[in-house]
Amino acid sequence: MAHSFDRLKELNLSRDEVNRIGEALKKEEFRKLLADYVEEIQDPKNRQLYEDEVCQIEKERGQDVTFLHPSPGYVIKTSVNGSQKGFINICSNSNINKPSSTPTTKEGTRGLQWSLPHSLSPPHEDLDNKGVRCQVFDVLFHPDALHLAYKNAGFRSLLNNTAVEAVESNFNVELDKKNLKFPKLNYKGMKRACIMRTTSKVQPLEKTPEEQEMYNKLFADIDAQRSANSFKSSSPKKTRSRKNSNGDSSSYTTPKYVIKHRSHIDIQEFRESKDAKINAAIPKELIVEVDLPLLKSSSDMNLDVTEKTVQVTSENPAKYKLNLTLPYQVNELNGNAKFDKDMKKLTITLPVKQKLTLQSLKFDDSGVESSVDSDTHSPTSPESDDDYIQEHENVIKPSETLVNTLRTNKSDDFLDASDLYILPEYKCNVFDNTVVFTFNVKNVDEKTVQKRLYSSESFVKLKFTSISPSFYPSCYSFYVKLPSHKFIEDSVTVETWDNDVILQIPLIANETQFCSYYCGLNQDSLSEKFMEKPVIIKSLEKPEPVKESKEPSKQLDNKHDQGTQEALSMSPVVMN
């Protein structure tokens, strides 16, 4: 649709001309005259008369003109510039020179170097079987070339490559060479003859000055337009801004795509506050538009979206593959995708995750009143200056934990340095002195599950990899330490299921109850986690109300001390 609108803009019609054409088309008499004109120019007798007159005029200019009428052969279906269907009619005409070959030797192998003369007609628009506009190109060869193409598959491939390269180089378009289809058609669209010009051997008759001036005025515009078209076709083809990520050796084609950033007007961004426009530069949504001109419906493709990537693949009726990295993290669960069958365009809408990095500042009242008459620039004592410097030196002192983390990561050989690990979501439960960790991770490859046990330190290391539907791996790591308990290495098991992974650690029975553990992504990020008790057990642990005593104050103090000691020595509740 956009391409047709651009063609109409080239007419440079005024508003008055458009209105007059519209009013004329409403009249039945004008429509009848227009139909008669179409039938007249399609009449074979009138076309033959037109060709004879053109040949006569060109001969007077010293040019021999031959009209090349295409004879149907077969059709190649592809896409033009990644956004529109295209058809190439492989035709024949006896006026084209015959193909020729010369024997050659390349790298010790003998072969034939072929020369395939051909002629091209200007591209024209047509409609496909669904009424969608497409471009049609005619490439004419000698009939012997098509005869060899039908007999030999190698020569047919050579003929197809020659036709595709000729269309690309002469009309400044880009065709999809990896998705060439051959529909059951002999010819697409209406047959149109092209012209072949050669210099005439017969000298034209001399013209009078008046005739020469008339011919110059008549052909001035034609020659200017012809030179402009030849310059346009010989201009170098523009390179695409996005290169094929799959490489030229791949059998898949990278489709044409556009990433759009969309934001909505939010009244909160116009507040007089420091955090009003903190996310104004970040879009609310990302819209990815992918042109797939050779696909028929959404069932022909596979779409996989993660937090940072979009992957589109298709096998039939055309091979497409797009691996796209998004500029922002998105919420893939709340996105949607639509495929327009008429425009052959896939539109993916993904909401962007918003991150508030500016924390609100809290100002607490110090309780010290300030005097208006006091000197705000009063000098401070040397001791206070030293305390101020010492305090800031402690603030900018490097974190020992960070340094230890970096050192430990280099020395830890359990995790691969080239992979990025994630701490999985998990639940911890205790059943009959067995600690069970359930990790909520789907599609875990059982071959990637690895564990390392340290019974002397009550330390367990676990890592595994999850494979997404688009075969994108996600690495997970989980370190857990049980400081107050021991376990037997042979009894620790890891079970892999479709939707989760289960780690079971049977504990050796002792008097200490299991109340807490340490876990993290690696050895240096361990943090203590406490077991959460049920509501019923919490209600049983409520302390009894203290009874008032009628004894003297001295005895009350002694009883208060004893009660405090008894409360501190209370043992935890046993969880089975």
Average pLDDT over residues 514-532: 85
- Note the pLDDT tens digit of each residue in 204-252: 767 777 777 776 776 666 666 665 555 444 444 444 444 444 445 678 8
Lowest-pLDDT choice from 26-30, 42-46, 266-270, 440-444: 266-270
pLDDT at 371 over 50: no
**CATH: 3.90.1170.50, 2.60.40.790, 1.10.150.120, 1.25.40.10. Which one for 407-537?**
2.60.40.790
Average pLDDT over residues 176-187: 89
pLDDT grade for 165, boundaries at 50, 70 and 90:
very high
CA-closest candidate to residue 75, choices 164, 155, 196: 164
- Note the pLDDT tens digit of each residue in 38-53: 888 888 888 888 888 8
pLDDT grade for 260, boundaries at 50, 70 and 90:
very high
pLDDT, residue 147, reads 92
Q: Where in the chain is the domain with CATH 2.60.40.790?
A: 256-266+281-351, 407-537
pLDDT at 408 over 60: no
555 exposure class (CB count in 10 Å sphere: 0-12, 13-18, 19+): exposed
pLDDT, residue 458, reads 85
- Note the pLDDT tens digit of each residue in 112-138: 888 999 999 888 888 888 788 889 999
pLDDT at 265 over 90: no
Lowest-pLDDT choice from 121-130, 162-171, 235-244, 528-537: 235-244
Is the Cα torsion angle 47, 52, 58, 61 positive or negative in sign? negative
pLDDT grade for 394, boundaries at 50, 70 and 90:
very low
pLDDT grade for 543, boundaries at 50, 70 and 90:
low
Other beta carbons less than 10 A from residue 350's beta carbon: 22
pLDDT, residue 351, reads 93
Average pLDDT over residues 402-406: 38
pLDDT, residue 374, reads 45
130-to-80, 85, 340, 343, 410 alpha-carbon distances in Å: 18, 12, 13, 11, 62
CA-closest candidate to residue 514, choices 494, 495, 529, 536: 529
Spatial distance between the Cα atoms of 517 and 503, rounded to a whole number of angstroms:
14
Other beta carbons less than 10 A from residue 476's beta carbon: 22
pLDDT, residue 83, reads 83
Better pLDDT: 394 or 501: 501
Residues 136 and 87: beta-carbon distance below 8 Å: yes
Spatial distance between the Cα atoms of 112 and 331, rounded to a whole number of angstroms:
58
pLDDT at 405 over 60: no
pLDDT grade for 67, boundaries at 50, 70 and 90:
confident
pLDDT grade for 253, boundaries at 50, 70 and 90:
confident
pLDDT, residue 246, reads 46
State CA 174 to chain mean position distance. Answer: 21
- Note the pLDDT tens digit of each residue in 51-62: 888 888 888 777
- Three-class DSSP category at 161: helix
Lowest-pLDDT choice from 103-117, 165-179, 382-396, 413-427: 382-396
pLDDT grade for 395, boundaries at 50, 70 and 90:
very low
Average pLDDT over residues 76-80: 91
pLDDT, residue 559, reads 41
The structural architecture, per CATH, of the domain 256-266+281-351 is Sandwich (2.60)
Average pLDDT over residues 553-568: 40
